[in-house]
Amino acid sequence: MTVPKEMPEKWARAGAPPTWSRKKPSWGTEEERRARANDREYNEKFQYASNCIKTSKYNILTFLPVNLFEQFQEVANTYFLFLLILQLIPQISSLSWFTTIVPLVLVLTITAVKDATDDYFRHKSDNQVNNRQSQVLINGILQQEQWMNVCVGDIIKLENNQFVAADLLLLSSSEPHGLCYIETAELDGETNMKVRQAIPVTSELGDISKLAKFDGEVICEPPNNKLDKFSGTLYWKENKFPLSNQNMLLRGCVLRNTEWCFGLVIFAGPDTKLMQNSGRTKFKRTSIDRLMNTLVLWIFGFLVCMGVILAIGNAIWEHEVGTRFQVYLPWDEAVDSAFFSGFLSFWSYIIILNTVVPISLYVSVEVIRLGHSYFINWDKKMFCTKKRTPAEARTTTLNEELGQVEYIFSDKTGTLTQNIMVFNKCSINGRSYGDVFDVPGHKAELGERPEPVDFSFNPLADKKFLFWDPTLLEAVKMGDPHTHEFFRLLSLCHTVMSEEKNEGELYYKAQSPDEGALVTAARNFGFVFRSRTPKTITVHEMGEAITYQLLAILDFNNIRKRMSVIVRNPEGKIRLYCKGADTILLDRLHHSTQELLNTTTDHLNEYAGEGLRTLVLAYKDLDEEYYEEWAERRLQASLAQDSREDRLASVYEEVESDMMLLGATAIEDKLQQGVPETIALLTLANIKIWVLTGDKQETAVNIGYSCKMLTDDMTEVFIVTGHTVLEVREELRKAREKMMDSSRSVGNGFTYQEKLSSSKLSSVLEAVAGEYALVINGHSLAHALEADMELEFLETACACKAVICCRVTPLQKAQVVELVKKYKKAVTLAIGDGANDVSMIKTAHIGVGISGQEGIQAVLASDYSFSQFKFLQRLLLVHGRWSYLRMCKFLCYFFYKNFAFTMVHFWFGFFCGFSAQTVYDQYFITLYNIVYTSLPVLAMGVFDQDVPEQRSMEYPKLYEPGQLNLLFNKREFFICIAQGIYTSVLMFFIPYGVFAEATRDDGTQLADYQSFAVTVATSLVIVVSVQIGLDTGYWTAINHFFIWGSLAVYFAILFAMHSNGLFDMFPNQFRFVGNAQNTLAQPTVWLTIVLTTVVCIMPVVAFRFLRLNLKPDLSDTVRYTQLVRKKQKAQHRCMRRVGRTGSRRSGYAFSHQEGFGELIMSGKNMRLSSLALSSFTTRSSSSWIESLRRKKSDSASSPSAGADKPLKG
């Protein structure tokens, strides 16, 4: 918020703009942030947010009122509270108040305890973060302060491996020139190290006494969610200094490989960019919950209609008939007319008929969901043995929605990939290395591979590095000059930093994991990068230490897509080494390498077909005179005031020409185990997967190919990279036109304009023939998500089989999810592993956290968590589908049995003078839903299956009924209600008709109220028990015990209530001694019960038999197949390896940062101290299924596309 600001006069003289010449903003907004170092009194005037964060919803005082308010927003809870109030009025209540208040209080208490437990853990997490310790400079002394007490303007000290407490301006560090290294995995998901640097004027403030005197003031942009941008100015000593994002350390980052640093707090708590990107916690409820709220309102309307009908009947009956019996059946004192009697009767029937939606429904739903959650927690097939991490259902309210997911939004780094690069293959002088051949000369599969190559000859080898082709090591040992030059290039052409904590223990710190993989490969093959200075590189070549003079680093950037170094060897020979993307480097080779180029190109195509990231290596000899001349031109270009980058690029282009080809490398960006299979299986289940990542476009596209989201069989891959609104709109328009043109070419008969006129987005999906993919960058996505373009973007994206969004911010991830939720009305699931994924996890209907390498922020914000992406298929196709199936069957049966139970009262009203007399006795009404019918339906809702779990995975099409909401919807609800009403009609009128003429064995009249009540009640319990037996698809011992046990309990309680014992103890409550025994001893009664059961059940059996034979669904077919092949081995899907040619994709250090080479040459980042560096763990590569059977579709398949399908921009 904005408050009056003070501007020091000396800064005004230094050129600072006047602050108060503009109009004050409205209260609650902030136009700029102003923070003065070491001056809390000044900074407190602005009332900036404290560094305390809060994700909890309640405190001790607000819990009860707020939680009850939230619970009574549920229509059902309000409905039952209303009924409870009615039952407290004696004139209208024919049932005791405890029949409603006990279950209502039980439901409210259970829910409140669950909400309190969830919020307790949120409080615990908040306290854990807020109470972290930080060293704050106060009154010239470093003091330990809790994070929540850190204020804007404080100077704090960070030490190695500590989390950054707030958004800081870096002032100084233990490294030369104020450098420090950070890891930003919690922000953008990238685990490679990044460099930040203090401005020169503060980099010397390493002494506490100097920092205590520092009184500079920062004026900068207000709090925002842009992670990659910062604009501000430091005013100090009558000068002003520009500030950028390179000077900032953001909350959530971790200080790495830096002993200490000092920073000035600019943004704290909720104002930090991390918290600005965290979406608000939203109350999530399933589509079934929302439907049930609607149905409860409908049922209440139906209940009112029945009450009105019976009330009118009561008023007419009292007016026409009741007046004749006033002598011995007088009205109550308060009743003075037939109309008022009908009015009271209306409320009495509302109470009696309220069991159409008993409160036990909601208790049962929560119990079933809890059971499903435990099944997820206990699933051993979702337990990660390596990390000792089980799957966890962190909520119990969303299980059935796992069976209805249509869109999955996934992070990339750490979710799809392990972020581990492996040197897999290489091509040197026309020969490919990396494949292992068996004796007959065929390529050996992963499981058939022999022992990995033995690098024991090299004492400096990384023991974690694995390579399977021994011929490459043999070539190195034999002194092959091409092989030696190949690895010499890899050991020299990079920006990796090396540290040696102990003798022979090398630790590499790389800007990107792929650079680390290449240098580690050279290290193991005998070319060990040992150390560097600003002007030298020392390499141990086959045990001999050789120092090269580093003359120049021609740095990498996204336009050049290559990197070069120029070195002078000990003999004085100058050579340029270059590595880069094949699409760039192959055009810069000398014409004499044409034959080698053709061979290497074939190898590159082979590597690309296996989804590997490729690089081409080349060199060029330079003579001394040419180099001196070139170096002078490079120096002049670097000093140019204007167009410096263009001039340098031109100078680099000149020297990087006519190079000699050495070979190529192939790196595997290791996916998590089972990712391609999981994506393929989920795609077959008609689930669309979008990847939303903070990584660069090239990295994301590579991963897209590796996990088979993108394939060369696709008709086209559209890449949207526009920087303006017009450019993005034009690229999206062209993409849609191409898709429509393809559709018209196969004879769909639609025009694009006709399609646009449709209000349904699905029309585009129906019209598009062929498979397309969309790749869009973050800056383009920002325009695409604007209000006037979001529909165009969504329409284009939904027409594509795969969508990849690159360089997106955490907030943009949430906006994409919200866009799909808004217009597609589909169930969405977001999955990620870092703090940068929290916002989309909270926004999606279902949030899944991967407990990986990037902290636990995503897990804490998620609804479900596990350790590997592959478990997602089991979570959805098994647990999700079963949960949806079970909940739908439970609801259908529950509404059926309660309408069958309640509607008997309605029919009885026409025969009892509409007097609100109940058919059943009070105890049966109380126990019906609590004891007699509760456990069988719970057993079905918890344990039922239509097909075994193996079949659920084998036939992913079984998942589609949930997406289409086929098993429980308004139509199914009305069918259940109709069946319940039909049953109630037979349940009342068959015994009524029999009892009208029937007699006992002794000839006396059988018809009496209690005998009739026992007969109807017994018929009802037997019918609904048989019905649930028909509905149960998977019988367990528990189902048998609950169904037959409930029947036994019914008869036991029935006979007990009519026994002498209870009559002796409670003579006023149990008056009808022996009634049950006498009634059920009559053959006529049992014949009536059997007749009622048969007439109620036979139509259901007949209908299901006909449907099974005439129109079976997929689950019926699967069950039939299972029975036929019961003794045969399950037939597996045919899987074949498909080689992919073309579409080579460069693997050059895609997360590499421009400018690091210049930093090395300056010597600014040379270490003065030795800290342990993270080593890159390399693991044996894993194979995956190249392709799965294509999804069967009713629509005609599009013609196969051409062999060469370049990415379209």
Task: Write the pLDDT tens digit of every residue in 578-619.
Answer: 999 887 898 899 999 899 999 999 998 888 767 677 899 999
Query: Given 3-state DSSP classes, what are the helix, strand and coil percentages for the chain, each rounded to the nearest 5?
Result: 45, 15, 35
pLDDT surpassing 90 at residue 1021 = yes
Distance between CA 991 and CA 1002 in Å, rounded?
20
Tens digits of residue pLDDT in 1055-1106? 988 888 777 787 777 777 778 888 888 899 999 999 999 999 999 999 999 9
**Mean pLDDT over residues 766-793, rounded?**
85
| Helix and strand element counts for the chain (H, E) | 43, 34
Degrees, nearest 5: CA angle 1064-1065-1066: 100
Mean per-residue pLDDT for 558-580?
Answer: 90
More confident residue, 1143 or 209: 209
Which band of pLDDT confidence, cut at 50, 70 and 90, is reported for residue 235? very high
Residue 759: pLDDT over 50: no
Share of the chain above pLDDT 70, in %: 83
* Choice between 1083 and 497, residue whose per-residue pLDDT is larger: 1083
* Mean pLDDT (whole number) for 483-512: 85
> Which carries the bigger pLDDT value, residue 1170 or residue 153?
153
Of the two residues 723 and 1174, the one the predictor is more confident about is 723
Task: Give residue 1035's pLDDT.
Answer: 92
From 619-623, 632-636, 995-999, the region with the lowest mean pLDDT:
995-999
When pLDDT is averaged across residues 956-973 and rounded to a whole number, the result is 92
Whether pLDDT at 5 is above 50: no
pLDDT given for residue 82 in this prediction: 82
Q: Read off the DSSP letter of residue 1127.
A: T
Between 555 and 1204, where is the model more confident? 555
Greater model confidence, 757 or 408: 408
Confidence at residue 1157, expressed as pLDDT on a 0 to 100 scale? 63
φ and ψ of 36, to 5 deg: -105, 130
Q: Tell whether the model's pLDDT for residue 764 goes beyond 70.
A: no
Q: Which two tokens stand for residue 265?
A: 């707090």
Average pLDDT, the chain: 82
Segment 546-568 mean pLDDT: 87
Instruction: State whether residue 890 is helix, strand or coil.
Output: helix
Of 900 and 1068, more confident: 900
Q: How far apart are CA 863 and CA 25, in angstroms?
A: 40
pLDDT of residue 112: 87
- In the chain, what percentage of residues exceed pLDDT 90? 39
544-554 and 562-568 beta bridge pairing? antiparallel
Element (H, E) at 347: helix 338-352
Hey, which residues are catalytic here? 411
Instruction: State how far the Cα of 561 lies from the Cα of 581, in Å rounded to an integer.
Output: 6
Mean pLDDT lowest for which of 19-28, 118-127, 408-417, 587-596? Answer: 19-28
For residue 624, CA distances in Å to 492, 549, 619, 650, 972 come to 20, 14, 16, 20, 86
**Average pLDDT in the 467-491 region?**
94
Answer whether 280's CB lies under 8 Å from 55's CB. no
Please spell the DSSP secondary structure of 739-795, one letter per residue.
HHHHHHHTT----HHHHHT-S-THHHHHH--S-EEEEEEHHHHHHHTSTTTHHHHHH
pLDDT band at 1008 (very low <50, low <70, confident <90, very high): confident
Rounded to the nearest 10 degrees, what angle do helices 63-71 and 98-130 cross at? 120
Q: Say if residue 1063 is exposed, middle or buried (CB neighbours under 10 Å; 0-12, 13-18, 19+).
A: middle
Nearest to 475, CA basis, from 463, 466, 485: 485
Q: In the predicted model, what is the mean pLDDT of residues 918-940?
A: 88
Per-residue confidence band for 751, with pLDDT thresholds at 50, 70 and 90? very low
| Mean pLDDT on 425-454 | 72
63-101 pLDDT tens trace? 999 988 888 877 778 877 887 888 787 777 766 666 667
Angle at 921 between CA 1031 and CA 1065, to 5 degrees: 120
Question: pLDDT band for position 745 (50/70/90)?
Answer: low
- Positive or negative CA dihedral for 362, 363, 365, 370? positive
Mean pLDDT value across residues 868-888: 94
pLDDT at 197: 86
- Does residue 1014 have a pLDDT over 90? yes
Q: What is the pLDDT of residues 159-214, one digit of tens each?
A: 998 999 999 999 999 887 788 888 877 776 556 677 788 988 898 888 898 999 99
Question: Model confidence at 335, in pLDDT bands (50, 70, 90)?
Answer: confident
CB-based contacts of 644, cutoff 8 Å, min separation 6: 637, 638
Q: How far apart are CA 719 and CA 807, in angstroms?
A: 13
Label residue 1163 by pLDDT band (50, 70, 90).
low
More reliable by pLDDT, 1192 or 1145:
1145
Instruction: State the pLDDT confidence band at 767, using cuts at 50, 70 and 90.
Output: low
Mean pLDDT value of segment 31-45: 91
Q: How many CB atoms lie within 10 A of CB 77?
A: 19
- DSSP letters spanning 908-926: HHTTTTT----SS-HHHHH
Is residue 11 very low, low, confident or very high in pLDDT (cuts 50, 70, 90)?
A: very low
Question: 417 or 447: which carries more pLDDT confidence?
Answer: 417
Query: What's the angle, vertex CA 483, arms to CA 477 and CA 486, rounded to 5?
Result: 135
How much is the pLDDT for 1178?
31
Q: Which of 352-361, 487-496, 680-689 has the lowest mean pLDDT?
A: 352-361
Per DSSP bridges, beta strands 179-183 and 254-256 are antiparallel
> What mean pLDDT do residues 1101-1124 have?
86
Q: What pLDDT sits at residue 1087?
A: 94
CA angle centred on 197, ends 194 and 201, rounded to 5°: 175
Please give the pLDDT value at position 1201. 39
User: What was the pLDDT predicted at 360?
Assistant: 75
Task: Read off the pTM.
Answer: 0.71
